């Protein structure tokens, strides 16, 4: 893959990671609010697990892209 394309994908992965972390923080707050109201948080907790799963996938993608870029980088 062309290095510029890899950098583009890496940038997108970084944006997904930042966004995912924000969603997780917000969801944890929402779950706490539901608990404070003594409401069922089952669905909110399931959504949190999905957010965490997606974040892990984006982090894995980022690390793979970094490795590919390092492989393509000229030796210093």
Higher pLDDT, 4 or 35: 35
In a domain, 76, yes or no: no
List pLDDT tens digits, range 18-45: 999 999 999 999 999 999 999 999 999 9
Q: How many domains does the chain divide into?
A: 1
The CB density around residue 59, as the number of other CB atoms within 10 Å, is 15
| 8 inside domain | yes
Q: For residues 1 and 27, which has the higher predicted lDDT (pLDDT)?
A: 27
Long-range contacts of the stretch 1-8 (C-beta < 8 A, 24+): 1/68, 3/69, 3/72, 6/65, 6/68, 6/69, 6/72, 7/69
Residue 39: strand, helix, or coil: coil
pTM of the model: 0.87
48 found inside a domain: yes
Range of the domain at 11: 3-70
In a domain, 75, yes or no: no
Does the residue 66 lie in any domain? yes
């Amino acid at each position: 893959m062309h290095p510029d394309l890899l950098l583009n994908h890496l940038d997108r992965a970084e944006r997904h990671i930042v966004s995912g972390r924000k969603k997780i923080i917000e969801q944890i707050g929402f779950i706490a609010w539901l608990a404070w109201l003594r409401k069922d948080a089952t669905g909110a907790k399931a959504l949190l697990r999905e957010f965490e799963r997606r974040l892990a996938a984006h982090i894995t993608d980022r690390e793979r892209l970094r490795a590919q870029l390092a492989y393509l980088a000229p030796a210093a």
